[in-house]
Structure 1
């Protein structure tokens, strides 16, 4: 039983010291004056003074605490400050008398006071989300402090403290007397009893040393790094320093992290790994870690409830109690064996998996050759379209397979697409920890090992000390509690003989655990050790192969050219899509908010059927005579303004731009081309030449050929000219550039620009800009090229073509991207006389651009866009989404502007709305965080500080809201 003095301390209220009292103490004992405010504390009073030159913290402690304990805290800080830990530690400051811990009297009560330097920064407790690198850094900080205190000695460390986790059980049970809620009291008591039970056999092996014992998110001070993330670099509040279990220091920190974990206890593992890397723990200490975390959680909740019963106005406790309740909920949400294995695995100390001992098959009447395996993974051919969303699809496919051989089985260890959850901020549990078998009813089952029968309806458990077999769908005539030997009959599959029955089979190494049927992907490696595959019971290999995404990425890097980048440093392996959703190999669904290539969305069945039909008939090049090329060319020409009646079909947007430039040269007879700064037009020699986006080519401005003449970017958000009058300024820049060309004796061949500034984030051009520039260019015999590859083809919603927003008609239109929904397909639309100008340079064709398959793809895309009203959806859903994003700008200063229209939007992030300093690193971190939450998003713009929002045009309002909600979550919680 805990010492009575210790238990009495748990009932002490805070010192009765006011701000006025603190002002007197600061002045009379330390000679300081300034602005004073109170800081939070559980049982002390802490006051912050700002003298104008420095900030200091006054700590007032009840005299019930012996002075040597307070001296130990001061000496511990001095000890750590003298070490090269790379951390900021408060400095104890003496009173005017030279004392470090003078005693004072306030209102007839005696208190100890201390003065410490104040550490600038922010506590992590206010950050709801902490990135894995922050969590790892947190664990490393704890290890550095623990390592620094390893050799620290002081008599004041031998103390009785309610927070000492060696005494957690009796302390919590004492505190529980103040918990009014009977149900909550019982839950805490049960959790504490279980934690202490698991700790008892390990206690003698746990190292004891001086520990801080309160390195929490409240007591770690952090400063922002380049991405804006708060990184821990200082530790405060040494009020709980004592001799205690070394691993308890890590347990306290991990418990504090759990209220940031969004319900995932594995969230702490980077901290465990980082601590162990710097200050290695023993196997016993690692096994004790989770029980200690649970114990800490129980003490926290019980202590806060008790403190509020005696000090109901304690704002510090009131502000923390919800966090502490969350910590307790997460800590008690998972079984001990799972977390023990996860922690050992994180430390690289997980022992080899023990061999399964099976001496008899479960279903000996079934031959392994009889089993037909189903495939329920992301790549399954049996899950076309959105059949994966059918809640009964697993059993439907199982039953269909059983019709062929009489026996079919699902596979253990497969990530089932049928359990995915689109528009979910957390990965669903998709990893199958069991096997489902469809087989003849009344098939006899036998015990594969010795054990005890436990019955619950049709659920049977064969339990032994090392392993339990869980069966659903068994009729058992044995009594509950009956013991059986391996090979004994244990029942028959439910269902009549000759009929069809179903059997669910699962193994578990923990006899006290009722395991889940599915595990979340991030927990699957540990869960499969607890619930090994039951396939040995059947004598057939029914395990699904593990995805080899990392090995595949290495193969890509080995054979795929390095300049061909992929999204993300650690990209998910995407193998399936449906409408605006993408699915990785773990069955995780992502909302695709960047894929302007697939304008219709992914997996469109109508398009797939049309392509399949045409491929089966013919595919060749456009120099042959066939109907599709004529029909598609007519369709495209009819979409363009009157007079633009001639079509070239090519393979891509880059080729379309390249061809458009050749047409301008051929028709005008001149080489010089005007282009815009900050623009991207393609990757071929010519299209790259007129591209000036620094994000795509950091050397763009210094490597342009002499026929390219970039002009000032008409960026109305961060350009030279903004607001009214901006158009005139930007047009004058074009006039000046033309004059420069002409003064050098050159003639103008043409001008190319995106009709909306796509790569800069969908920024609209200034009103009347294209009209004025087109007139200047045409006066000099040049041609005007509208690059609609990204922004045209209905994406803007309000207009089919981007140039319609400016009220102009170009001489040449280039288009690609969405017109093929991923099929290589692009086009140039122009006037007949311009097209004919190319004849003097020879003929032109594109091998697959105008092929029968490409033409059928193009026409089917247009049909679906029309029939499904996708341009109207782009307008309506896009306007709704833009309004949601603009509302975020009212709340979050990092949101500088929302550009664009329809479903081509750009959300620009800035560090300062006045200077417009781009938030480049923050934008990258936000995109990474959005990926965690199930959203595919990437940055764009010269500063890579704009979210390029250009999803498939089938984007639903629900999906648009999910994106806005997740973005709001990131901006609110941190990244």
Structure 2
């Protein structure tokens, strides 16, 4: 006891003498070093390490690397070294022997091994941390890192001599196989991969997690080595996957997170799975070596239980598919040759033969829906094999068809029919990898394209195919692929042997009967195979939804082989997480996703509601595109009817186009009477600029601040919302920006009867500024209600005065009705009419086609004539018969359902209700709008108008999550609740919204936050 107290006192004195610290020291585990947590008097915590004498070069490396990281990447979650009073980072001390003292900052959290908060976030944050770490270490060099080190798995071959001492035949065989593959396949590829210094030991005791399960720090740089970079990922994954439900998924997630911040090469991603297995093999061999050196230390064998258990789990995985999953997670093609094979097949399809031929004519084909969405899914799931055979026969007879088709990509209800085998399930939910062609037993089956017999299989229980043939083919570029023919007769295999050449159209077998084809109604299952995954003739015919993007590359759609007259493939439903990932890979990331990080997967819509994949109905209060309601039956019927008759361009005469132009222009005041039809509001506004420049001979444009008029280059130029925002390049020289007329927080406010004319003065100033440079405006852009400006109605008289200033300088005036037109404002058909003006050009889009991509420009005959200057104007799709029919149907519904009046009545009800709520909720600063185009501005203080963007953020989340109401925000300060639902939005919808708004604002006022 006296020795212990003396030791503690000496240690405390050492801490004070070296670092000027006083506090409590708590001993921590350590194999060679003495480690102590220092709980200083000022509340801070540190790690005191007293390094044992030994490998001085390794210790110097650890000191050097932390100093390098402190300079190169100070944000990294690693300890920082605290110098002693004299400035040294290492100080010789005498405490239980000669040692080197080092003080480090403490990393808060629990080590991975002891944390209950482990999750997928733990894996991904570890991968990201290691990616950033290795990026920072890319230019770090130290002699200590160039050691020959037993735990550098790139040197695994050096441990082969210990294999004979591994206990257990199964374990020994697994280690030998891993080492053999390492020598023949992995090491040659690894030697070509990037090399650098890595941490090399991100194990579950060196990784610290916070309370949320995210990585908060990385400890112990004592295993650092200069080696192949990808080993960093493999070592970390070997520990991270312990005890997980999906070990390959953990490896893939960690590798993908690393790759996102420190891109891997394709070769590196392909090696990760093998290197994780190699790490386990090295661990087994190192323990075997240590047991040989320390035969009494049985603990070394106990510590290997996790290693052998996890290695056995990985050995049970299909290694080829595991590598594909990791490649895919990192953004590489799961099957490198898949795209090349697909292109070759498309280019050569004209030479393919029909696998089942009807002599003298094209076959009559009918679709057999075996999907989970089939109207007969419940019935199909109860049929036995014989009853299913009768079902297929009836379908063929009733359709007068030669073949019935079971589709590729179908999520199957009945893929596993057995012949009275009670042990086999009658229905599974897996995705079909081939196309089924149902016909009579004994029907000849022909090779679609020339090849050679690769594999034969007659294990009906194993793969459910019955007798199966895989033919081998090779593209002109040398890529090998296979065609699989399943459910053949047993006799079919007797006439074939591996290596045998088969010509296109040559008979390779016949359809098997129920008793021999795996228990199915007679049919051919034909499947493309780019990689047989080492399964050879036992290749599977169904894949999982979770890995569909990989199965699509392993077995692409075989429709290209068949040239069928009906669609023979489906798009299986995927998870939201998968869809987000694929959007980011396949679609430009600048295309945003609503309601991230919990986006909605919408599969249907009706009226004012969107419907998600679970059948939940979401009240849509932001969709002014589906103006007359989602999927309005009259609009759908008009589109379907015209699509089935004719769709062509507007160069041909067509009654509907002219009638639509007549009906549309009749809704405008004179002299607006000439139409140009385009496909989007952006196209409409771009064409309007061309019209104005042709008519005026001027080039310059005037726009209102914070406006948005479209995504084309010409329209980004007149959209301060874009050119002054993130990624914008500022105002172009040919554009002038007028002050935004905001009656709530602008210079001139509610109650000023001359506010409109005062704000219009800034338009006059922009015109004068152009004149001072010898220029004049071609066009003045303005909406009737400012959308991105914050749902701002214009002050009375604003457009009248602004138009007068522009026209006095020879310019034209445009009313952008893309968002607010077609009766939405309630009092009028067009928002510009609320200002008592007639513009020179009107543009419209969004609601014009109720979701169909169409738009229009309306102008005067005089301006249209100026544009007819010899250069033909033509738009391939603008004004096509289908669009015109849809446009007419929308006008009919607006008229017949009295939607303009409805917007006025419901909009007034909603605004009155919101203003009443403002009496109870001071965060509501302003309620404004016309009809069903409404803004509710949130403020923290009605005197200072401090914007309450946090209140809007809270509202958007809570209205969605708690009330299933979809809203959005707007305005320069992001503090305006934007309301613009489909026009049929009714009284019950309005009251539901107001009640929900009251409830959420009440919780916000109590201090709740999202």
- CA 1:434–1:290 in 2, change beyond 3 Å: closer, same or farther? farther
Equivalences for 1:564-575 in 2 at 5 Å? 568=589
Change (3 A) 1:616 1:448: closer
From 738, 741, 761, give the equivalent of 1:710. Answer: 738
User: Which residue of the partner structure matches residue 58 of structure 1?
Assistant: 47
Q: Which residue of 1 aligns with 2:505?
A: none
Unaligned runs of 5+ in 2: 285-306, 342-352, 381-387, 414-428, 447-452, 473-480, 499-507, 572-586, 594-601, 611-618, 915-920, 939-943, 954-965, 994-1010
Equivalent residue in structure 1 for 2:320, among 327, 334, 337: 337
Task: Report the equivalent of 2:513.
Answer: 492
Deviation at 1:120, TM superposition (A): 13
Match 2:61 to one of 59, 68, 75? 75
Q: Is the 8 A contact 1:407 1:440 kept in 2?
A: no
Number of the residue aligned with 1:608: 639
Give the aligned partner of residue 234 of structure 2: 251
Q: Does 1:860 align with 2:889?
A: yes
Distance between the aligned counterparts of 1:544 and 1:946, measured in 2? 48
| CA–CA separation in structure 2 for the residues paired with 1:841 and 1:277 | 55
- Separation of aligned partners in 1, 2:482 and 2:684: 65
- 2:235 is paired with a residue of what secondary structure? helix
State the Cα deviation string for residues 881-914 of structure 1 (Å, max 9, x = none): xx9xxxxxx9xxxxx9999997999999xxxx99
| Residue 213 (1) aligns with residue 200 (2) | yes
Q: Does 1:756 align with 2:780?
A: no
CA deviations on 1:698-746 (whole Å, 9 max, x unpaired) are: 67745347xx772346396xx7669x76989975752543775899999
Question: What's the secondary structure of 1:58's corresponding residue?
Answer: strand
2:103 aligns with: 115
Asked if 2 retains the 8 angstrom alpha-carbon contact of 1:753 and 1:787, the reply is: yes
Structure 2 residue 543 is matched with structure 1 residue 518: yes
Q: CA deviation at 1:118?
A: 7.3
| CA separation of 1:954 and 1:841: change in aligned 2, threshold 3 A | same
SS at match of 1:76: helix
For the residues of structure 1 that align with 2:638 and 2:283, how far apart are their CA atoms? 55
Tell me how far apart the structure 2 counterparts of residues 476 and 795 of structure 1 sit (CA, whole Å). Answer: 69
Q: String of CA shifts for 1:825-864, please: whole Å, max 9, x gaps.
A: 42659xxxxx799899999999898887665332212345
Q: Equivalent residue for 1:291?
A: 277
Q: Which of residues 622, 646, 649 is equivalent to 2:675?
A: 649
Query: Residues 35 and 51 of structure 1 are in contact (CA less than 8 Å); yes or no, is this contact kept in structure 2?
Result: yes
Q: Does 1:406 align with 2:402?
A: yes
3-state DSSP of counterpart to 1:790: coil
Query: Structure 1 pair 799/399, CA: closer, same or farther in 2 (3 Å)?
Result: farther
Q: Does 1:734 align with 2:759?
A: yes
Secondary structure, in 3 states, of the residue corresponding to 2:62?
Answer: helix
Where do 1:181-330 residues align within 5 Å? 199=178, 201-202=180-181, 212-215=199-202, 236-238=219-221, 248-254=231-237, 266-270=252-256, 286=272, 288-291=274-277
Quickly say closer, same or farther: Cα 1:193–1:239, change in 2 above 3 A.
same
CA distance in 1, matches of 2:672, 2:45: 77
**Aligned partners of 2:895 and 2:644: how far apart in 1?**
21
Kept after mapping to 2: 8 A contact 1:23/1:33:
no
Alignment of 1:387-398 (within 5 A): none
Name the CA distance, whole Å, in 2 between partners of 1:485 and 1:121: 63
Contact 2:660 2:884 in 1 (8 A): yes
- Pair 1:773-2:798 in alignment: yes
SS of 1:861 mapped into structure 2? helix
What secondary structure sits across from 1:771 in the alignment? coil
Measured after TM superposition, the shift of residue 948 of structure 1 is: 10
Is the 8 Å Cα contact of residues 702 and 766 (structure 2) preserved in structure 1?
A: no
Of the three residues 121, 128, 152, the one matched with 2:144 is 152
The equivalent of 2:19 in structure 1 is 31
Cα distance in structure 2, aligned partners of 1:534 and 1:667: 56
Aligned pairs for 1:931-970 (under 5 A) are none
List aligned pairs for 1:779-858, cutoff 5 A: 786-793=815-822, 803=831, 809-812=836-839, 814-821=843-850, 822=852, 824-826=854-856, 828=858, 855-858=884-887
Q: Deviation of residue 791 (structure 1)?
A: 3.1
The structure-2 alpha-carbon separation of the partners of 1:450 and 1:131, relative to structure 1 and needing over 3 Å to count, comes to closer
With over 3 angstroms needed to count, the CA separation of the structure-2 counterparts of 1:734 and 1:715, relative to structure 1, is closer
CA distance in 2, matches of 1:626, 1:129: 59
* Separation of aligned partners in 2, 1:617 and 1:344: 44
- C-alpha displacement of 1:238: 1.9
Residue by residue, what CA displacement relative to the aligned partner does 1:800-848 show, whole Å, maximum 9, x if unpaired? 86849x975554565333313545442659xxxxx79989999999989
SS for the counterpart of 1:152 is: helix
Q: Is the 2:273–2:323 Cα contact (8 Å) retained in structure 1?
A: yes
SS of the residue aligned with 1:862? Answer: helix
Partner of 2:742: helix, strand, or coil?
A: coil
**C-alpha distance after superposition, 1:514-564 (max 9, x if no partner):** 8471366987567755x69999999999999999xxxxxxxxxxxxxxxxx
The Cα of 1:660 is off from its aligned counterpart by 9.2
Q: Which residue number corresponds to residue 455 of structure 1?
A: 461
Per-residue deviation, residues 905-964 of structure 1 (Å, max 9, x unmatched): 9999xxxx9999999xxx9xxxxxxxxxxxx9999999999999999889999xx9xxxx
Distance (whole Å) between structure 2 residues aligned to residue 941 and residue 190 of structure 1:
71
In the alignment, which residue of structure 1 is the partner of 2:707? 679
> How far apart in 1 are the matches of 2:692 and 2:337?
70
Shift of 1:437: 2.5
Deviation of 1:502 (Å): 3.8
Secondary structure of 2:820 counterpart: coil
* Counterpart for residue 435 of structure 1: 435
Cα 1:393–1:87 shift into 2, 3 Å: farther
- Larger RCO (CA within 8 A; separation ≥ 6): 1
Change in Cα spacing, 1:103 to 1:32, as seen in structure 2 (3 Å) is same
RMSD, matched Cα = 8.5
2:522 alignment partner, SS class: strand
Q: 2:449 — aligned with what?
A: none
Aligned residue for 1:436, secondary structure, equals strand
Q: Is 1:505–1:534's contact at 8 Å kept on the other side of the alignment?
A: yes
- Tell whether the 8 Å contact from 2:677 to 2:854 is kept in structure 1 after alignment: yes
**Take 1:22 and 1:375, find their aligned partners in 2: how far apart are those partners?**
90
Aligned residues: 760
Seen in structure 2, the aligned counterparts of structure 1 residues 941 and 570 have a Cα distance that, compared at 3 Å, is: same
- CA gap of 1:104–1:334, structure 2 versus 1, over 3 A, is same
Within a 5 Å distance, the mapping from 1:543-692 to structure 2 comes to 568=589, 605-612=636-643, 615=646, 628-634=660-666, 636=667, 648-652=674-678, 675-681=703-709
The CA distance in 2 between the partners of 1:91 and 1:673, in whole Å, is 57
| Whole-angstrom distance in 2 between the partners of 1:729 and 1:165 | 88
CA distance 1:786–1:390, change in 2 (3 Å): farther
Distance 1:257 1:442, change over 3 A: same
Q: Which residue of 1 aligns with 2:962?
A: none
Structure 1 pair 468–221 and aligned structure 2 pair: CA distance change class (3 A): same
2:743 and 2:720 map into 1 onto residues whose CA distance is: 14
Aligned to 1:770, the other structure's residue is in SS state coil
Q: What is the Cα deviation at residue 651 of structure 1?
A: 2.1
Q: Which residue of 2 aligns with 1:181?
A: none
TM-fit CA distance, 1:765: 1.5
Return the offset for 1:39: 14
Does the residue aligned with 1:649 lie in a helix, a strand or coil?
A: strand
